[in-house]
Amino acid sequence: MPASLSSYRRLAPPLMTGACLILLAGCGSSSDSGGGSAASQSPAADSVIPVVASTNVYGDMAERIGGGKVAVTSIISDPDQDPHSYEASTQNQLALSKAKVVIENGGGYDDFIDRMLGSGGSSPQVINAVDVSGKTAPAGGELNEHVWYDFPTAAKLADRIAAALAKADPDDAATFTDKAKAFKAKLTPLERKEARIKAGHGGEAVAITEPVPLYMLQASGLRNATPEAFSEAIEEGDDVSARTLRDTLALFSTRKVKALVYNGQTSGPQTEKAEQAAKAAGIPVVPVTETLPKGKDYVGWMTANVDALASALAK
């Protein structure tokens, strides 16, 4: 049975203990250093708005909209790390204690933010991307929390970030609004690219390793043919049964899918077998990530993702 376009929420990280704040969640064991960001790590002056984002995806959005008026700390910024496995630090707690605006994904993806905020006395404006998106779990299913792969949600977030920054700095409200409009204008070509894929390939089947890119695939009119048990097990960090793995690999050997969309940040022996099977069958592999690759901004990153998908389907 094909997997639905919803994902499976990972278990929330354990509670913090004292000042150490050791928080573990999801399907791996590696950790980020906790201080990475493409922007300054602390405000240069009182007039600069300190912003903390759970990942550099939202940190980049804040930088585009805030410009020189914000100092952004992105807690998770390592493109080689699985964001679902994270050890928070006292440095993260300190950054959050100073933040005036906090951007989290929500939906069970980055619960460490709420836990750290709950342990401190600060009360920043908190933007929850899942709440902003308005998306909910389908009947009988789980919420797909990877809302940054949904461009209408990115547009809503731009407006919400601009509003939060304007509240923190009313004198520059017009600047934030203008930058949000400019950011949203860059999303329109991405939606047009998805529409072109849908027009040319609507209804075609693809495979995934995890639900990360499903909003993009859905907007492109594609059908996820991956056995539900496979993508669920990979996302939860569980072993895939021999039967499920066999059924998944058969998608490639029988050429029932046009592409494999592969999340390289949560790769392992079983996803690597899927990748090898796809390549052996001559089926294109489209790599995706959960956080920004180094040297990319959000729009450039998503443009590369959509273009790679279109190129794969055209083969």
Residue pLDDT, tens place only, 249-258: 999 999 999 9
Average pLDDT (110-124) is 86
Is the pLDDT assigned to residue 26 strictly greater than 70?
no
User: What one-letter code names the amino acid at 47?
Assistant: S
Residue with the larger pLDDT of the pair 140 and 49:
49
Name the phi and psi angles at 11, rounded to 5: -65, 140
Residue with the larger pLDDT of the pair 105 and 80:
105
What is the predicted pLDDT for the residue at 266?
A: 81
Residue with the larger pLDDT of the pair 234 and 61:
61
Residue pLDDT, tens place only, 169-193: 999 999 999 999 999 999 999 999 9
Is the pLDDT assigned to residue 307 strictly greater than 80?
yes
What is the predicted pLDDT for the residue at 5?
A: 37
What is the predicted pLDDT for the residue at 38?
A: 41
Tell me the three-class secondary structure of the chain, residue by residue: CECCCCCCCCCCCCCCCCCCCCCCCCCCCCCCCCCCCCCCCCCCCCCCEEEEEEEHHHHHHHHHHHHHHEEEEEEECCCCCCCCCCCCCHHHHHHHHHCCEEEECCCCCCCHHHHHHHHCCCCCEEEEHHHHHCCCCCCCCCCCCCHHHCHHHHHHHHHHHHHHHHHHCHHHHHHHHHHHHHHHHHHHHHHHHHHHHHHHHCCCEEEECCCCCHHHHHHCCCEECCEHHHHHHHHHCCCCCHHHHHHHHHHHHCCCCCCEEEEHHHCCHHHHHHHHHHHHCCCCEEEECCCCCCCCCHHHHHHHHHHHHHHHHHC
**Residue 170: C-alpha distances to residues 43, 69, 86, 98, 223 (Å):** 18, 12, 35, 19, 45
Q: What domains can be seen in the chain, in order of their start residue?
A: 49-187 (3.40.50.1980), 189-314 (3.40.50.1980)
Q: Which two tokens stand for residue 75?
A: 């807690």
| C-alpha dihedral sign at 82, 96, 110, 60 | negative
Is the pLDDT assigned to residue 58 strictly greater than 70?
yes
- How many Cβ atoms are within 10 Å of 238's Cβ, its own excluded? 12
